[in-house]
Amino acid sequence: MIINRSKIVVISFVVGGIVLVLGIFVWFRPTPNYSLSSIHEVKNLVPVAVVGGGPAGLSAAMYTARARFPTMVFAGSKIGGELLEASYIENWPAKEKLSGQEMMAQSQKQAEHFGAQIIPVGVEKINLKTWPFEIELDNGDHICALSIIITTGGAQKFLDIPGIDTYRGKGIGICTICDAPFDKGYEVAVIGGGGCGRG
Ligand SMILES: Cc1cc2nc3c(=O)[nH]c(=O)nc-3n(C[C@H](O)[C@H](O)[C@H](O)COP(=O)(O)OP(=O)(O)OC[C@H]3O[C@@H](n4cnc5c(N)ncnc54)[C@H](O)[C@@H]3O)c2cc1C
């Protein structure tokens, strides 16, 4: 293949331009300043803020509070998370069967026992470009945190078909790994093939 001189010049300009733009982006990218020197001036500062009060958030809070890091859990409206909707849980070690509500009440109690504060307020915005990080709560309050653990979970998509609300948890499940053993002996249709569906 023959490449003439003008093509080489154009290619060099394009490659040079891309490198220059990337260089400028990396150079001017705002990075938080993790200096401890001005921390004492920061108001409403919490060492660990956990966003979300489901199994992941309460477990995280249990660890950090137990390690003596003052911890606040901003749990939103659903302290306990999705498992509150689970009638029974059988894949939890050390207990053959327990209700979702029982499990999450125990988890909350355990996190609080080690000193975690669990607050039924949601998080609206987080600014990770400054440090300490800034958190805007959905009640309008602002706090700062040295570290943030985000555990806001996910959401299922339900089909828009008759009976979906009536039979939810009574034959219509959202997680094959969790619910399949309850359906032994029944004919089952699986819709969706992601994470929980593949079980
Ligand atoms: C009916 C049902 C039965 C299930 N059964 C089982 C089972 O038997 N076994 C099993 O292993 N799993 C089961 N699961 C799955 C299990 O519930 C989830 O895997 C688990 O709850 C995920 O935990 P998580 O903490 O990541 O998220 P979630 O439980 O979804 O918790 C998310 C938390 O984040 C909070 N949140 C969300 N947005 C914000 C915000 N902006 N600010 C502050 N907080 C926020 C919510 O209020 C909630 O507290 C079941 C789920 C359902 C729905």
- From 50, 83, 179, the mutation candidate for ligand 1 (largest count of ligand atoms within 8 A of CB) is 83
- Give the tokens for residue 39: 């921390």
Q: Is 174 in the pocket of ligand 1 (CB under 6 A)?
A: yes
Task: Quote the pLDDT of residue 199.
Answer: 47
Task: Quote the pLDDT of residue 7.
Answer: 85
Q: Please, what are the averages of pLDDT over each run of 10 residues along the chain (199 residues)? A: 77 88 79 79 94 98 98 97 90 93 97 98 96 96 97 87 87 82 88 63
Annotated catalytic residue, options 141, 165, 175, 183: 175
Give pTM, 2 decimals: 0.83
Q: Is 103 in the pocket of ligand 1 (CB under 6 A)?
A: no
Closest C-alpha among 84, 78, 83 to residue 178: 83
Domain 44-150 fold is FAD/NAD(P)-binding domain (3.50.50)
Give dist(CA 175, CA 38) in Å, integer.
48
Annotated catalytic residue, options 165, 179, 183, 196: 179
Task: Quote the pLDDT of residue 151.
Answer: 98
